[in-house]
Structures are given as C-alpha cells and as structure tokens.
Amino acid sequence: MNVAVNVVLCTGPPNRYELLAWLNDTLQARFTKLEQVCSGAAYCQLIDWCFPGTLDLSKVRFQSSSSTEDAIHNYSLLQAAFKKYIPVDTLIKNNSTVAVTFLHWFKLFFEKNNNGREYRALEARGGQNMVPVSGGSSCCTEILHSKCCLSAVKMEEQESSSDPLFLFINKYCSGNVDALSSDPLVSTILSPTHPKDIIQVCWHTPYCLYLYMGVELGRGQTTSVLLIGYFDWSSGVSVVRLLHTLNMSTRSVDGDAKLLMETLKKFELPLSNLSVFYCNASSLWARQKFVSQLQTSCPRLITLSGLPGLAARACQAGIMASFSGLLDLIRVIHCHYSTCTSVNDSLKELFTNSQSYDPSKPVSGHSLFIINIVQKMASNWRDLVDYFKSLRPTASSDWIRSQLIDNKIKLQFLFLSHALEPLRALQEWQQYGTVDVAAELQLSAMLVHTYATNLLRPSVHEHFLRRRSLHAFNNELPPTEVNIGSRARDFLWATAVVDLGEQERSDFLKGATAFYKGALQSLVRNMPKYLGDVALRNIRKVLKHPENINVRRFISVRAGPLYVHEEIIIMYNVVYSVTHCHCSAEPRISPPQSIYIISDDGDDDDDDDDDDDDDDGGGGGDDDGGMVLTCTPTDSAPQLGTKEEMVWGKLDGFSFWPGIIIPCRVKKPGMKMVEWYGQRMSSQVAVETLEPFAAFAEHFCPKSFAILVTYRQAIFLSLQVCSLRCGKQFSANLNDKDGLLKQVLDWALEGFQPMGPDRLTTTRLSSLPTTQSAFTLHGTLALSHTFTHTYSHICSSSVSAGICLCCGTESVEIFHPLFKGSLCLKCKDNFTETLFRYDEDGYQSYCTICCYGMEVILCGNDSCCRSYCGDCLNILIGQGTFDSLKELDPWICYLCQPHRPHGALIPRVDWSIRVQELFANNSAMEFEPHRVYPSIRANLRRPIRVLSLFDGIATGYLVLKDLGFKVDKYVASEVCEDSIAVGTVNHDGKIVHVGDVRLITEELLEQWGPFDLLIGGSPCNDLSIVNPLRKGLYEGTGRLFFEYFRILQLLKPKEEDPRPFFWLFENVVFMNTHDKVNICRFLECNPVLVNAVKVSPAHRARYFWGNIPGMSRPIIASQKDKLTLQDCLEIGREARVTKVRTITTNPNSLKQGKGVSQLPVLENGKEDNLWITELERIFGFPKHYTDVRNMNRQQRQKVLGKAWSVPVIRHLFAPLKDYFACEQLPV
C-alpha cells in the first residue's frame, strides 16, 4: 500500500506561468493555457510517476476533446487513486482560480512524494500529446492586448542544436524550432525579417532595453536574454519583443559590457533612441558598468535596475547606519516567542504572520516584517514590559527585560516607528501591489521628499530634490531640529535627565540623523537619474498623454518586466512618455467638492513648467513644504446655530465634541442637526447645549486627545476647516501628520491668531477658489456629507451603464444594486458602509441613490426607511422634482411604487437580489474555496458537539434543538450574568458555561472537545460606524474577534482528518470597509449578508462568515415565521407599522416614524410601546424566554438586543442536518 505525504499550501498567490513551465518541463508537454490542464490527464500521470501501479495509465484519456466526458473520466481515475478532495465540478468548468490553486497544491504534493525515480513521461503515455484539440492559443491575441507573454512551455526533446537562441525558444516559447511551426510567436522569431522589423521601429520610436542574465536553459546551461520594448502607436498597445541571446560569462563584467555594446552595434540599433535600460544583475557595480557603456551613446539614459527592492534596501541602510542593535532585541524576543509554550496576547499579536522570519537573513530580506514588528512594539511597549517582568528569571528573559526598561531603547523604537512609516507604504506596494512602475516612481519620489525635508536645511532642500546630489548632506539640520516624530520628541523631552542623560540624548539624535542619511543615500543610488522630483511626482499625469509629441522623449514603464522569477519571463506591458515637456494643454479645473479644498498631488496638480536647463527634468518651483488653505469669508458672522456654523456639542458620557451645523430635514423647535467631525454621522442637539467653536481652549479635552484616536482625528478635521476659513498657512510637511496636528493645535489654543476667532464664520462655497490646493493627506480629510455631484454624461432620459450613478465618473467598478447604472470604487465603498445605516428617526442616514446628500425627502410608507436627496432627484429626474415632492404628504418612494422609469432614474426589478450580490461581491478578495465535506449517511451520523463563543442567550442551542439535532455537548463562553441565566433556565442546565473567552486555552479545548461546530459573534460596539467613539478592529472590544480567530485555528482539523468541522462568525454590516476587509483576510472568505426582515417583522442586517454549506442561498420564510408586527402582538393590540426598524439595546430603538416619536402599537386608541413578550416573538424566541432572575424591562431588552434572530440562524443551520444525528420529531 502506497502512503502519501500530504502538504499544505504556503501563503501567497501562485504564479500560473511558473506552474505551467514546471508541468511542461516535468511531463514533456506543451500546455500553453491553464484551462488545458483541467482535463485531468496531467494529474493522472503525476500520480503514476510517484506511485506506480496506483492507477492504470492506459485508461487515461490524454488526447481529450473539449467535452466534459473525458475530464470526468480522468478525474474518476484520479479520485480512485488517492483520497484528496478534488473540486471536479469547478475544474471541468475551467475555473482559473481553482485550477491554479489545485495545480499549485499538486506541484507541492509531487515534489514531496517523488523519490527521484527515473521516469520518461512521453514514453509512458505512448508519445501522446496532452493538449486538448481545441486548446490552442494565439499569442498574437495576447500581444494585441498589451501582454506579450513568453509562456514557459517546455517542448519535446526534438532539437539537438546547442544554439542558446534555439534552446531558449525550446524552453520558453510554445512551438517547435522548425521554421514551419504554426506557432505565431516562434514563427515571428525565426522569420527572415527578425529582428529587422524591431530595428526599423526603434529608428523612429523611443524604446526600452531589457537585459536578463543567468536565464536557465536546462542541463546546467544559462544564457542572457535581450528584450526590446516599445509603444506601438498604430495599435495603441505596448509590445515587448525578443531580440537575441548572449553568452555572457557573468564573471568578467568588462567583457560582458563590451559584448552587449557589440551586439547592439551588430544589429544596428539606434542608441540615440534608447531611453530606458533595465538589467537584473545582482551586483550594483555590474549594473553601473552596463549603464556607463550605454551612456557613452545616450547620455540621458534612464535606468530602472535599482527600482525592485528599493524600499527594502533603504530600510536596511537606514537601520544599519543608526540603531542596528534593535535587531538583536527583535531576534531574541522572536526566539522566546517561538520556543516558549505560553505567551500572552500582546506577544502573539506582535508576531502574527511571522512564519517567514529568518534572523540570519539581512534586513532587506524581510524589511516589511521588521517595520511591522518595530511599530507594534512601539505601540504595545507597556504590555511587553509587564509580560517579561512576570516571567521567571532566565538569562534571555532578564536581558530582554533590561532592554525594554531602558529608556533609550524605547526612544529608538518610537523614532523608527515614525521614520519607517513612509518606507512601509512603498514596500507594501512593491510586495503586494500591482506591477505599476509609474506608481512606484511616484511613491519613491514622495519618500525622498519626506526624508530630505526631515534631514536637510531648507536652503539646500529644494536643490537636493532637483539634483539629488550627495553633497547636500553637508548641510544637514542641527540634530535638535531633525524631525523625529511627535511621540519620540515628547518622550525625549519628557524623560528626566537621570533616566536619559545628555550624552544618550545626543547619541540618539545623531542616530536619527544617521538613519535619514543612510536611507537617503540608498534611495539616491538606486533611483533613476535625470528624473527630478517634480517629474517623478507627476509622472502619472504625464503618462496620460503619450500622444503628445513633446512627451515622447521620456519613456517610463507603467507595468514592465521588473519582477522575473528564475526561469520565467512573463507579462510585459511597457508604456512610453516624456519628462522635459511644456504641455500646451490647458489644465482642467474641477469644482469644489467639499467645505475645504484638499486634493491629490499625484493626479490633480497642474503641470509644472520646468526649466529647460534643469538636467534632471524636474522643476524647481514646487513649494510643497507646507499647507496653504485660503477662502473668502462672508461679510457678517452668523449667530450660534446658523447653518455651517462650527460648534462644540456635549454628548452624554463624553467630553465636548467638535461638529458643524447642517440642514435638518425634520425641524424641531430649539433643535439643530449637528454633524460630528471624524464620525460620518449626525444627530439633533438642543441649541442651548451647544457652545461656539471659538471657545476652543475652554472645551478642548487633553485627556481624550491623548487616548482616543477618533477624538484626535475629529480635532484635526475641525481645525482644517478653521485654517481654511482663516487663510492660515502652516509650514509642517504634510507627510508628518503628527507635526502638522501639533502646529494647528497650538494655533487654536492660542486663540486662532493673528485673525482671531471672528474669522471662524461660515464661508460661501461660491467664494472658494476654483483651483485646488496642491497637497493632500491621502484625500481622507473632506467631510463626507458635503458631496457635490459632477454629472457630465447624464441626461434626463437615460443613464449609461458605464457611468457612476453617485458621482458621474466613467471609471466604474460594479452595478448600482437599486437603480439602473453603476458605481465607481469610491462610491461602492461608501455605499456598502452606509446603505444599512439609520439615524435616530429610523430612516437612512444618507440618500438611497448616492449614499451622500445634505437635504433629503423621506418615504411615507411605514414599512420603508429610505430617503432621497435633492441633488439626485433634480439631476436624474428633472429640475424642481425635489421641491414638488415636498408638497406631497405622504410621498411613496420609487422602490415602493409599481416598477416604472422616472426620468433617468429606473428602479431595478430585481433590486432585492442585487443588494445581496453587492455585499457578496468582492472581486479584489479572492480566496481558496473552503474544504467541502461530503454528506454523511444517516446511520453513521452522530450527535453534534458545539462551542459557542459570545453565546448571549443561547440562540444557537435553541435553534439546534428546534431543528431536532441531538446535541452531545454545548459549551458556551459568555460573561453577561443575565444572559447566562436565560440560557441556563430555559435549557435545564444542559449548557456548559465556561466564562471569558480570553481564558480558554488549548489544553481546555482538548479537554472539552473535539467540536463539530464553532459559532460566535464578537461585540460590535467598537466596529459599528454608528458608534462615534468606536476603536476599530484592533482596539477595545474589537480585538475580541482575534479570540474567535485564535480558537478557530486551534479547532480546525488537519487535512488528513475526514471529520466534518463547521464554523460561523457574525457581525454588523455597517462597519468600516477596512475592518471588513481585515476580517475577510483572517477568515479567508467573504461574508454573506442576511437581513432578518425577510423572515421576521424587524430589520436586522448582519454579515455571516463561515463554511456551512448553502450559506449564500436565498432566505425564505417558513410557515411558522411571523412576518408582520401584527402577528407578534398580544390580543387587543394593533400594529401601526408592518415592520419595525433594527431593535438594539437602546430603548429608543423601539420608536418609529420620521420624528422618532411614534410608538409602534395602539391599545384602546392610545399609543403604546412593544411589550417584552412581543419583542421575544419578533426575534423568534418563545414567549417569556427572558423572564428569569427578576430582570426588569430594560435588562430583558438589553439581552434581546444583543441576540441573533432565531429564523436567520435556523436558515443557516439547516444544512447541518445532512451531517449530524437528529431526534425523531413529532409530526
């Protein structure tokens, strides 16, 4: 019996071209596309190689047709050979994501189980070709789509020639070296006109030269490959062509450089048109030698050889030049983490995803990991100190503890946490982002600008950016003026002299200077010369006009072949443009889109007029060292409570919070609607509780500012508006947000001088400048409600599917779920965050169409909570629509009316289904499918064992018993005593309560388990965007998600364990997009959205992640589900509405209507609130389910408000009946 060794996929997406190259080389095949492998024949032969006799190779259908019958036959043979689950249905449908994942796993499996047995694959299958008859591909098509792809396809061993060019074609090009080959790519290379056609193009078009050294040819042979890239103006696409191969020694650099020049002269390439050069030589000296030879003929040659790994090398240079001793501390702490059996949560979080860390490698080998560790340690320093103080004394723990309590070590970490942040952005882009060289050049220029500002004197700063001369380092700032970040600066000067001596302070400042100097030197050495700061930072704008004859002198690579792995050269896309241009086109002027104008310096700046004598192509006049915000105030200052007046508001339980008065759709005497800065929410507040924002020093709370990130952001946003209204200019670099915040805060505390608080009055939008400020803080500072529609393609009769219905842009991402039209990426994110967000009156906070809107009209249907803004109605339907609809009372909205067009606003018939698709659509988040368990025969099913985290009032147990499951064990983690009492009393003590989830250890899980089902939903109060003081996923109760994730990882069975294991995680829909994305990344799946309103009388939209089969199926009400409020009321009580809004722990959530004053029930002609027994029925619980422990009404509503909806959980749990034993339920 053959016993196979299983493997687990490593992290990181596989490269399909490398996998095809490996498969062709291994099986002597000619696969050119991944879909051709889906016939299953290749997998059968790999199994025959590793485990001879496991399957009958003569039964494999190698020459399969495109029909599914041959594929099913081959997979049946494969499935009989081993017990690995095979996603046959998905593979035969040619799903590329599943196909590449399965091939990746099979490659690892083959390499693990292959014992080196000699095997002739071609002979073993009788010389049959495995490529399906209809599986051919045309490389010409790929070239026409800007992707000249040299697919790694190993040819049959037919060619005996030793010419490197033929060997290269043999190994990397699909086809035969025979000149009569039908493959268009091979025919082009071997045609008599090659490379004359390439040379002819290069004589009148700027071109790029790529030199790849050490390309494997097999049998121990290597070669160097020359590629030519150019922009084909006739077709409008980028082309990369193979020129020739060179026999370079890789030992004699002078000889190699001479050979390169001789080859270029031999082919008569015009070096005067050579604009960009790239070489993958590992030695910097070798690359410089090639460049120096080429520059003799093209002095202004741009080299991109130093761009890959630029951030990693700069990180290493900076750290090694300054505080290299910190690496020893990180190494020892990591060693402790790896060897110690019990570590605390802070240490676990510190080394999350640290499997790839190898201390023996240089910093550049894992720079992003080092940056993450430094920043995490700086943020969790106190926790680390407490942990290592609690350990039993050992040599290593004592040394770590002594380092952690050393103030100068902490100071170094605080500084590096600040200084490495700009490097982190570039490194993440290079490591995880798309291949976009223009973006990398732009980010690199911003990084150089930031570090130069932090290090150099203002007098030489501008000159350095233009020339990037290392001589500028002789004019550094004094050590005390070097930018070390606000946290490090505060710690430096707040620490007593006895704890941090003068010499130690001086050494630290010298080290900070050395970091910037070392990092800058590394960046300057590796960045392309002759491209100045202005040219690099505006390179994206320049690339938008390749047709301009003035821009053809400069060639840039938008997505070029800079990341080539060993023996594969793939996916080239080269785009050309120029620096040194004086574009004659008029700059576009955009209308203001917010109360204050802040824009991106990458895409929206006007073209800079650079001097012709600048040898680097950069301009000198880009004054980007500060922020200038200007506007014209109104003639008179309004009284407190006026529209757009800035105020302080006192919220219950919190300090004064900054806000701005906005128009109110439901006006109440003495009340004003205030939008709270930094929260994207608003609420009505009594005027007498408001204070003028001018009294800043009186109402500013230093304690909240120190501990609450949201409060700090709110202060920053409000002071941005103040600086705009006062025309105040600040000198801090915008990349140093902490420094800028300190400046504006000092200005506010000193009374907004020199203008004074009188200038804090509202400004008219029409008085704002039409040109936008040149700088931004990542475009996130504008208030979300002050959105201005910019439709330019929408008429009153039709809407194109290629236009965003929210903002009018043509760059669309996905369909609009409610109305015909689309959404761009920005509006999609905003739409998903705010669609299910409701104000205190129960209505949507924002417009149903655009999810923005200042003034809205509400639907008069009691069961509808939608609102529509005036901009959308007037633009999409017709001018005056909004005013005319305000006269109707009640007005029924377009989704509640019978389906018909309303001007350009056309409701979708299937809008309810498309809403689900919107929340399920995550095209940028693709994950490997969850393991699928086959159903278990009825006589083999056993009772279910469940672990419920954050169990609440035992909804999970109630549903399982309701569905008839035999529950062998139900272990619940819950800390609320009232909730525990409800579960204990209603289920006769059959639930095992184990307390706080943070105290559950692996040993306890082994003692209680094994478990078949893990369920839970961590608290949502720090994730929900309704909470203005939310802390997010990584702080407060948000961190409890990681307790669920930790236990999930401990409970997941191993790959070879056939036991079914299911899990379910729940949380709110209205969370920030980045929190949702992070949860998806950890759980490795996308959520499904289920709204309880379809099976109950209450709106309750929730996200569910999990691997339970059929989670995404439509939810359908059963006969016993109560769908209307009237069905849930006691006798003699009448429902005023059909559906109620989301019920929370807040008693006001029971009120309905536009004014949040309407009670939902009438009894004897009088308004009344919902009784608790009626609330229990709305959630699907039995009557009096929460009537335990003498709990009052408020306590009972509180435990219900945190509970799951019973019909929803029944819908999700139902498929588990195919896996676990059930009781014989009475009919």
CATH code, domain with 48: 1.10.418.10
Q: Which of 96-105, 205-214, 408-417, 676-685 has the lowest mean pLDDT?
A: 676-685
pTM exceeds cut of 0.85: no
pLDDT at 1147: 55
pLDDT at 1139: 77
Please write the tens of the pLDDT for every residue from 868-913.
888 888 888 888 888 888 888 778 888 888 878 888 888 888 776 7
pLDDT at 594: 27
Q: Which of 635, 594, 638, 588 is nearest to 768 (CA)?
A: 594
pLDDT band per the 50, 70, 90 thresholds, residue 621: very low
Q: Within this chain, do residues 151 and 257 fall inside the same structural domain, yes or no?
A: yes
Tell me the torsion sign for CA atoms 465, 466, 468, 473. negative
pLDDT at 113: 83
Tell me what the pLDDT averaged over the chain comes to.
74
Who wins on pLDDT, 591 or 736? 736
Given 44, 804, 893, 1020, the catalytic residue: 1020
Contacts of 934 (CB under 8 A, 6+ apart): none
Q: Which of 3-12, 717-726, 1036-1045 has the lowest mean pLDDT?
A: 3-12
Query: Mean pLDDT throughout 19-34?
Result: 83
The C-alpha angle 334, 339, 341, rounded to 5 degrees, equals 115
Q: Which of 370-374, 970-974, 1119-1123, 1201-1205 has the lowest mean pLDDT?
A: 1119-1123
Among 239, 274, 303, residue at a domain's last position: 303
pLDDT at 544: 54
Q: Within this chain, do residues 240 and 118 fall inside the same structural domain, yes or no?
A: no
Range of the domain at 227: 139-303
pLDDT band per the 50, 70, 90 thresholds, residue 1011: very high
pLDDT at 184: 54
pLDDT at 548: 46
Q: Tell me: pLDDT of 379 over 70.
A: yes
Query: Mean pLDDT throughout 248-271?
Result: 83
What's the half-sphere exposure (Cβ side, CA atoms, 13 Å) at 154?
21
CATH number (domain holding residue 758):
2.30.30.140
Q: Within this chain, do residues 981 and 915 fall inside the same structural domain, yes or no?
A: no
Q: Tell me: pLDDT of 606 over 60.
A: no
Please write the tens of the pLDDT for every residue from 758-781.
666 544 333 333 332 322 333 323
* Alpha carbons 511 and 505: distance in angstroms, whole number: 10
Q: Tell me: pLDDT of 21 over 50.
A: yes
Query: Mean pLDDT throughout 468-481?
Result: 74
Question: What percentage of residues in the chain have a pLDDT greater than 90?
Answer: 9
Q: Which of 181-195, 269-283, 521-535 has the lowest mean pLDDT?
A: 181-195
- The 8-class DSSP code of residue 576 comes to B
Please write the tens of the pLDDT for every residue from 928-953.
677 778 777 777 889 999 999 999 99
pLDDT band per the 50, 70, 90 thresholds, residue 1008: very high
* Alpha carbons 868 and 892: distance in angstroms, whole number: 11
Q: Tell me: pLDDT of 551 over 60.
A: no
pLDDT at 1097: 86
Q: Which of 570-574, 1011-1015, 1211-1215, 1222-1226 has the highest mean pLDDT?
A: 1011-1015
Q: Within this chain, do residues 249 and 170 fall inside the same structural domain, yes or no?
A: yes
Among 861, 889, 919, residue at a domain's last position: 919
- Assigned domain for 1224 exists: no
pLDDT band per the 50, 70, 90 thresholds, residue 1076: confident
Collapsing DSSP states into helix, strand and coil, what is residue 666? coil
Query: Mean pLDDT throughout 1039-1059?
Result: 89
- Assigned domain for 993 exists: yes
Question: What percentage of residues in the chain have a pLDDT greater than 70?
Answer: 71
Q: Within this chain, do residues 329 and 233 fall inside the same structural domain, yes or no?
A: no
Who wins on pLDDT, 789 or 848? 848
Among 269, 303, 337, residue at a domain's last position: 303
- Assigned domain for 587 exists: no
- Assigned domain for 1045 exists: yes
Query: Mean pLDDT throughout 13-27?
Result: 79
- Assigned domain for 564 exists: no
Q: Tell me: pLDDT of 1085 over 80.
A: yes
Total domains, the chain: 6
Q: Within this chain, do residues 246 and 112 fall inside the same structural domain, yes or no?
A: no
Identify residue 833 by its one-letter amino acid code: E
* Helical spans, DSSP H, in 323-436: 325-339, 345-350, 367-379, 381-389, 395-404, 407-419, 421-432
pLDDT at 385: 86
Q: Tell me: pLDDT of 969 over 90.
A: yes
Q: Tell me: pLDDT of 152 over 50.
A: no
pLDDT at 1190: 86
Q: Within this chain, do residues 293 and 322 fall inside the same structural domain, yes or no?
A: no
Q: Tell me: pLDDT of 480 over 60.
A: yes
pLDDT band per the 50, 70, 90 thresholds, residue 588: very low
Identify whether 1020 is a catalytic site residue.
yes
pLDDT at 288: 80
Q: Tell me: pLDDT of 447 over 70.
A: yes
Query: Mean pLDDT throughout 827-856?
Result: 71
Please write the tens of the pLDDT for every residue from 666-687.
667 788 888 888 766 677 888 8
- Assigned domain for 283 exists: yes
Q: Within this chain, do residues 242 and 298 fall inside the same structural domain, yes or no?
A: yes
pLDDT at 871: 82
- Assigned domain for 748 exists: yes
pLDDT at 461: 66
pLDDT at 354: 53
End-to-end CA distance of the chain: 50
Q: Within this chain, do residues 521 and 643 fall inside the same structural domain, yes or no?
A: no
Contact 442, 543 (CB under 8 A): no
Q: Tell me: pLDDT of 803 over 60.
A: yes
Q: What are all long-range contacts of 795-800, with beta carbons under 8 Å and residues at least 24 apart?
A: 795/904, 796/876, 796/877, 796/878, 796/903, 796/904, 797/903, 797/904, 798/904, 799/876, 799/904, 799/905, 799/906
CATH number (domain holding residue 1206):
3.40.50.150
Q: Which of 225-239, 710-724, 1108-1122, 1204-1218 has the highest mean pLDDT?
A: 1204-1218
pLDDT at 925: 56
Q: Tell me: pLDDT of 999 over 70.
A: yes
* Alpha carbons 772 and 606: distance in angstroms, whole number: 9
Query: Mean pLDDT throughout 1197-1226?
Result: 84
Q: Within this chain, do residues 1105 and 1147 fall inside the same structural domain, yes or no?
A: yes
Q: Within this chain, do residues 458 and 326 fall inside the same structural domain, yes or no?
A: yes
pLDDT at 949: 94
Q: Within this chain, do residues 289 and 333 fall inside the same structural domain, yes or no?
A: no
Q: Which of 299-308, 407-416, 484-493, 596-605 has the lowest mean pLDDT?
A: 596-605
Q: Tell me: pLDDT of 165 over 50.
A: yes
Helix or strand holding residue 718 (H, E): helix 709-726
- Assigned domain for 254 exists: yes
DSSP string, 795-838: -SS---TTSBTTT--S---EE-SSBSSEE-HHHHHHHHHHTT-B
pLDDT at 102: 86
The C-alpha angle 228, 229, 231, rounded to 5 degrees, equals 145
pLDDT at 821: 87
